[in-house]
Structure 1
Amino acid sequence: MHISPRSLKTLSRLALAAALAVAPLATPAAAPAEPGGWVDATTGRRLVRVDDTPGNYALYFNYNPFTPQGDLMIYLTPEGIRVADTRTWQTRLVLKAGVDRLLFAGPKTRSAYYTTRDAAVEEGGPSTVWSVDLDTGKTRRIADLPGGRVMAINADETLLAGVWETAPAPPHIAAQGKRDPVTGSPHYAGTGPDGKPLSFAAAKGKWMAERLAARVPMEMYSVAIATGERKTIHRATDWLNHLKFSPSDPQLLMFCHEGPWHEVDRIWTIRTDGSQLTKVHTRTMAGEIAGHEFWGRDGQTVWYDLQTPRGGVTWLTGRNLVTGEQWRYEVARDQASYHFMQSPDGQMFSGDGGNAGKWISLLKPVLREKPVPGLITPGRLESIRVADLARHDYTLEPNQHFTPDGKWLVYRANIEGKPVIYAVELPPR
């Protein structure tokens, strides 16, 4: 499970309320990327350090950071919203403002969407959603929200979607998962039955179980970008998270029931009018888990991690919601990743690794059997390692993104002892 960071909470607390009255910059500041970058000694691939500003934030793996033309990538620093030119990796400041959360780039317009929140308001409280033109810096106020957060924008850029807790979670639950504004890593703490402090993973697991059991009332909603009108899509006491619109169907949302993966039916779809609530994956084995779902480039296929059972065989699994076709690519231990993503041409995947194999990798799917209608098509993955993360601490998720031209993977790592945004050039195919 991923808790998207509130950007630089400590610094935001120091900002005056006037910082919320955002304005375009007259002269955007520019910062040159390192000329030519350098070559990863292990993989032989060229690397560029895009930004090492303390407190930088690059988007979660399934939030689009690129303009429709693919020439700009958005990210956040304590100063405000910046863009990186994907051809030169030079960066410039687009919006100098106290931004609460950078959301995503528009799929149709050259815009970034973001939220602001009064410095006195806690995370999850009322906020305002805005857009900013990435060429002019001009901002537009879209809507005031009662709480929670916006998570998705639809394919024709007419709707936003988000969730909020309509009643507060217990204080000890709400206090967990906060991210350090400097390191970007979340904090989880707790004690076991013996009174001793739990590890990061154990404390996070304990918190997730307690949050699921609390059955906090939640609402999923849409916001019309043109008018700011908010409509309810779905209400539940399930833990709603990870909203993502189909990249081809502007009325179809995927979302998850969050919690310990072996205890929830996680992956679902729903129409924006609240109809056709559909479970994507049904468990067939005790202890089976599925998660970290994302849309394929075709807008019809949902891809996700599957373990049969948890800790057992790991698969990168795809299910076409229109045709019913299914694929399962076995993931070797050293290919296991916090997140996978599909290349723009749909032919490859990327993985950001884990403690069993600390790499940014390209993963080529290879079928093991000829597809048979009505049956799952099995396969495996061949690795092409492109960046060495041997010194990376995975409490910070790399959240890799293919550039739209498929020539680079952008990710965030702390291999230099602090979070840095990097780009690695991919081998030609």
Structure 2
Amino acid sequence: MIGKVYPSEKKSYIDEKTGKQVWQLTDGASNNVHLYFTDNSFTLGDEEIYFLSDRGSERGLYNFFKMDLATGLMTQMTDEPQGVGYTGFSTKTPDSELLVYITGNKIKKVNTRTGEIRVVYEETEGMTLWSPFISPDKKLVGFCRNEDVSITYGNNYAGFKETMYAIKRGFVTIAHLDGSKVYNAFEDTHWLGHFQFSPHDSNLAMFCHEGPWNQVHQRIWLLDISTGQVTPCFRQEEDDCVGHEFWTRDGLIFFDNRRKGHDGTITSKRTQATIVTEESGQTPYIGLADEKGKVLNTIPMPHYCNHYHANNDNSLLVGDEVDDIVLITLKDGQTELKTLCTHHTSWGSQMSHCHPTFSWKADRILFASDRSGTIQLYVTEVNG
């Protein structure tokens, strides 16, 4: 029920490996996941987070909630009978005024200040909807529409490769949030995903060709919204295996290049993304590109985390290794890794991926784990 307040479930513990204090924000039989790492669950000011939970519903039926981080109190923001899509199906503005999410064949917008909920797009052509993202001027939402190929995408990346090969038609679609206009900004012959507006330019966005990284020829693309012109970002060569791109806070594009043979996944068997194969003679690296797709610099990254997120000046990364949340200092083209705390997630599904992200002040890390059996949210301080 919209407006229902749930009591705090916060509790702290001392991490067994590092002695770090970690706050478990949610608990119990419900599953709780934060927004995808290309977004930020924190509201500017870092006093609250927005997240998805199946509390109060049947298992697996998610809705939006907000949490006051000081008190731990949680307030339900949506009550969709079909639920709200989780990883990559919901987004918000940095100030949390607007929430946008996919439910069934509709994309809806919530104004958290007025409580108004309205449909901004309804799918009528049988395409699947994915990765909505709001423009920085709050006027547009962009999203990907791919043909429905009826392949089950399940735990441990089941159907991932098959979906990539099956989809031959995809669109980047733009909807005006005032309901005045909807149009296709770009059409392609690939599975499209990871749509993200630039944090500073409402006419510039990026998207990806989705699939196993070692089978996608060109992962990252930049899109001029007004003209529909696309430009490859970091032109890949044969042995480049690229993914997990996101806009940094200063408007650069971060990407992870795991090099020859890596498909970008990690499964419950804890393989692939965490293995550096010496026989390849190649060292993985991360890179930063400008808004025209030109690579500005690269840094060797032999640590092989599964996701990265950057602080405000790109001097510090947070990453999720197999069982640990780590901080990686970037300085003079070198990296220094420090274990922050354990996470012990199973990696069985996208929802159980840690997806660690910095708060807006970059002094706290939010992550998810199913170490307790259900997926819960955790936060810890960067320092101290």
**What is the TM-score of this pair, normalised by structure 1?**
0.74
The 1:148/1:260 distance shift into structure 2, 3 A limit, reads same
> Could you say which residue in structure 2 is the equivalent of 1:123?
none
> Could you say which residue in structure 1 is the equivalent of 2:121?
143
> Could you say which residue in structure 2 is the equivalent of 1:319?
289
Are residue 241 (structure 1) and residue 222 (structure 2) matched?
no
* Equivalent pair of 1:24/1:136 in contact (CA under 8 Å): no
2:341 alignment partner, SS class: strand
What does the per-residue CA deviation read over 1:110-142, in whole Å, with 9 as the maximum and x for residues that have no partner?
23222322xxxxxxxxx2222223355442333
Q: CA deviation at 1:61?
A: 1.2
> Could you say which residue in structure 1 is the equivalent of 2:135?
154
Are residue 112 (structure 1) and residue 99 (structure 2) matched?
yes
Q: CA deviation at 1:165?
A: 2.4
> Could you say which residue in structure 1 is the equivalent of 2:253?
302
The 1:220/1:303 distance shift into structure 2, 3 A limit, reads same
> Could you say which residue in structure 1 is the equivalent of 2:64?
81
For the pair shown, which has the larger CA radius of gyration, 1 or 2?
1
The 1:242/1:323 distance shift into structure 2, 3 A limit, reads closer
Are residue 272 (structure 1) and residue 238 (structure 2) matched?
no
Range 413-422 or range 242-251, more displaced? 413-422
Q: Give the Cα separation in 2 of the matches to 1:323 and 1:352.
A: 26
2:299 alignment partner, SS class: strand
Q: Give the Cα separation in 1 of the matches to 2:204 and 2:163.
A: 27
The 1:94/1:308 distance shift into structure 2, 3 A limit, reads closer
Q: CA deviation at 1:330?
A: 1.6
Q: CA deviation at 1:150?
A: 4.5
Q: Give the Cα separation in 1 of the matches to 2:25 and 2:160.
A: 34
- Equivalence map 1:212-223=2 (5 Å): 212-223=164-175
Are residue 164 (structure 1) and residue 148 (structure 2) matched?
no
The 1:108/1:82 distance shift into structure 2, 3 A limit, reads closer
The 1:292/1:50 distance shift into structure 2, 3 A limit, reads same
Q: Which amino acid aligns with 2:208?
A: C
Q: CA deviation at 1:51?
A: 1.2
Q: Give the Cα separation in 2 of the matches to 1:347 and 1:255.
A: 25
Are residue 362 (structure 1) and residue 327 (structure 2) matched?
yes
How many corresponding residue pairs?
Answer: 346
> Could you say which residue in structure 2 is the equivalent of 1:34?
10
- Equivalence map 1:122-141=2 (5 Å): 127-135=105-113, 137-141=115-119
* Equivalent pair of 2:7/2:72 in contact (CA under 8 Å): no
> Could you say which residue in structure 1 is the equivalent of 2:353?
397
* Equivalent pair of 1:50/1:90 in contact (CA under 8 Å): no
> Could you say which residue in structure 1 is the equivalent of 2:60?
none
The 1:359/1:69 distance shift into structure 2, 3 A limit, reads same
* Equivalent pair of 2:305/2:319 in contact (CA under 8 Å): yes
What does the per-residue CA deviation read over 1:257-298, in whole Å, with 9 as the maximum and x for residues that have no partner?
1223223211110111343310112234x3321111111111
Q: CA deviation at 1:29?
A: 1.0
* Equivalent pair of 1:107/1:156 in contact (CA under 8 Å): no
Q: Give the Cα separation in 1 of the matches to 2:334 and 2:197.
A: 28
1:213 alignment partner, SS class: helix
The 1:412/1:307 distance shift into structure 2, 3 A limit, reads same
Q: Give the Cα separation in 2 of the matches to 1:56 and 1:399.
A: 13
Q: Give the Cα separation in 1 of the matches to 2:164 and 2:100.
A: 29
Q: Give the Cα separation in 2 of the matches to 1:128 and 1:276.
A: 27
- Equivalence map 1:162-311=2 (5 Å): 162-166=143-147, 168-169=148-149, 171=150, 174-175=151-152, 177-178=153-154, 186=155, 204=158, 207-227=159-179, 229-263=181-215, 264-284=217-237, 286-299=238-251, 301-310=252-261, 311=277
Structure 2: state its 5+ residue gaps: 57-62, 262-276
Q: Give the Cα separation in 2 of the matches to 1:327 and 1:45.
A: 33
What does the per-residue CA deviation read over 1:144-168, in whole Å, with 9 as the maximum and x for residues that have no partner?
23342242111111111112224x3
Task: Select 1:415's aligned residue among 359, 362, 371.
Answer: 371
Q: Give the Cα separation in 1 of the matches to 2:358 and 2:310.
A: 8
Are residue 337 (structure 1) and residue 318 (structure 2) matched?
no
Identity of aligned residues (%): 20
The 1:34/1:108 distance shift into structure 2, 3 A limit, reads closer
Q: Which amino acid aligns with 2:145?
A: W
Structure 1: state its 5+ residue gaps: 1-22, 118-126, 179-185, 189-203, 368-378
What RMSD over aligned residues (CA atoms) do the two structures have, in Å?
2.4
2:18 alignment partner, SS class: coil
The 1:47/1:108 distance shift into structure 2, 3 A limit, reads closer
Q: Give the Cα separation in 2 of the matches to 1:101 and 1:86.
A: 24
* Equivalent pair of 2:26/2:376 in contact (CA under 8 Å): yes
Q: Give the Cα separation in 2 of the matches to 1:31 and 1:136.
A: 23
Q: Give the Cα separation in 2 of the matches to 1:346 and 1:88.
A: 31
> Could you say which residue in structure 2 is the equivalent of 1:388?
342
Q: Give the Cα separation in 2 of the matches to 1:257 and 1:274.
A: 20
> Could you say which residue in structure 1 is the equivalent of 2:267?
none
* Equivalent pair of 1:74/1:112 in contact (CA under 8 Å): no
Task: Select 2:318's aligned residue among 340, 350, 354.
Answer: 350
